[in-house]
Amino acid sequence: MTIFLKNKHTLQIDDFYFKCSIGKNGLTRKKKEGDKKTPIGTFNIENLYFRKDKISLPKTNLKCLKINQKMGWCDDLNNPKNYNKLIKIKKNIHHEKLYRKDNKYDLIIPIKYNYNKPILGKGSCIFIHLSKNYRPTLGCIALSKKDFLIMIKLINKKTKIKIS
């Protein structure tokens, strides 16, 4: 199964179409850390991370991991060992917090962009996450909670996302 980004406002899975938002500066084949662009390509997806204190265990075939206050995703250009990986938060490592006050990361699926052997500066923290208002993201793809919950019922660990 493949999730298709049809255009900057639409994701398609089989016969389902979902409104979405992407990076503020559009799509790119030459992603760079901090460019606010969504990378073009076909990528695997990671596990589903969720806030158990806000959402009960969702119905999905994805492996589900509970987000805790010490979880972060490393975007530190000075940390090649942890770049673009899930980390335990440390003050000396720059990261994206997964446990947030807003609801954006109540449900997230990391997209395996620049993932297996990450190249420093090529981009990190590319997620499918929640949006209340479909404002442009910093490079992620964002959906409403209702649509996200439908999407995760349709997909599994073999699902790919095609961004073009």
pLDDT digits (tens, 9 = 90+) for 88-138: 999 899 999 999 999 999 999 999 999 999 999 999 999 999 999 999 999
What's the rounded Cα separation, in Å, for the pair 36 and 138?
4
Coil vs helix vs strand at 152 = helix
Q: CA 7: distance to chain centroid?
A: 17
- pLDDT for the residue numbered 70: 97
> In this predicted model, what pLDDT tens digit does every residue of 7-49 receive, in sequence order?
999 999 999 999 999 999 999 999 999 999 999 999 999 999 9
Coil vs helix vs strand at 78 = coil
Contact 162, 4 (CB under 8 A): yes
Least Cα distance to 99 among 151, 54, 138 occurs for 54
Structure token digits, residue 142: 């964002």
Least Cα distance to 104 among 135, 60, 150, 70 occurs for 135
> In this predicted model, what pLDDT tens digit does every residue of 61-99 receive, in sequence order?
999 999 999 999 999 999 999 999 999 999 899 999 999
86 has which bridge partners? Answer: 73
Strand bridging mode 95-97 / 141-143: unpaired
Coil vs helix vs strand at 22 = coil
What's the rounded Cα separation, in Å, for the pair 108 and 57?
13
The DSSP letter of residue 82 is T
The pTM (predicted TM-score) of the whole model is 0.95
- pLDDT for the residue numbered 83: 98
CATH number for the domain whose boundaries are 2-163: 2.40.440.10
